[in-house]
C-alpha cells in the first residue's frame, strides 16, 4: 500500500507545481497564446488521466484491504485450530 501513497503524493505534487502561476504577464502575440492554450488543454487532459489513475489505485488498494480483512478471521481460526491440535498430540 505504500507504493500507492508514494504515487499519490508524487502526482499531487506534480499537479500542484504545474498549476502554479509565476505572476508574469502573458505574451500577447497569437502564436504564443495558441501554444499556451494547447499546452493548457494537454495539462488538463494529463491531470484528468492522473486523477483517474489515482482513483483506480486507491480503489484497488481498498479492495485488497477488504479482502484481507474478510479472510483474517478464517485464517486466525485455522491457525488456532492447528495449534490446538498440535498441543493435544
What is the residue range of 59's domain?
31-89
Q: Record the pTM.
A: 0.43
Q: Is residue 26 one of the residues assigned to a domain?
A: no
Whether residue 1 lies inside any domain: the answer is no
Let me know if residue 60 belongs to a domain.
Answer: yes
The Cα 61–Cα 23 span in angstroms is 39
Sequence-distant (≥ 6) Cβ neighbours of residue 14 within 8 angstroms: 50
3-class SS of residue 19: coil
Tens-digit pLDDT profile for the chain (89 aa)?
A: 577 777 777 777 777 766 665 656 655 667 677 777 788 888 888 888 888 888 888 888 888 888 887 877 776 777 777 777 777 76
2 lies in a domain? Answer: no
The closest of 64, 74, 61 to 4, measured between CA atoms, is 61
In a domain, 40, yes or no: yes
Buried b / exposed e across 44-78, counting CB within 10 Å, b at 16+? Answer: eeeeeebeeebeebeeeeeeeeeeeeeeeeeeeee
* Domains identified in the chain, total number: 1
Q: Residue 86: inside a domain, yes or no?
A: yes
Amino acid at each position: 500500500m505504500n507504493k500507492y501513497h508514494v504515487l499519490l503524493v508524487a502526482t499531487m505534487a506534480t499537479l500542484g507545481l504545474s498549476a502554479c502561476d509565476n505572476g508574469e504577464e502573458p505574451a500577447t502575440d497569437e502564436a504564443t497564446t495558441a501554444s499556451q492554450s494547447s499546452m493548457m488543454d494537454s495539462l488538463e487532459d494529463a491531470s484528468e488521466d492522473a486523477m483517474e489513475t489515482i482513483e483506480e489505485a486507491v480503489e484497488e488498494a481498498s479492495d485488497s484491504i477488504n479482502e484481507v480483512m474478510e479472510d483474517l478471521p478464517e485464517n486466525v481460526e485455522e491457525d488456532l485450530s492447528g495449534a490446538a491440535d498440535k498441543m493435544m498430540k
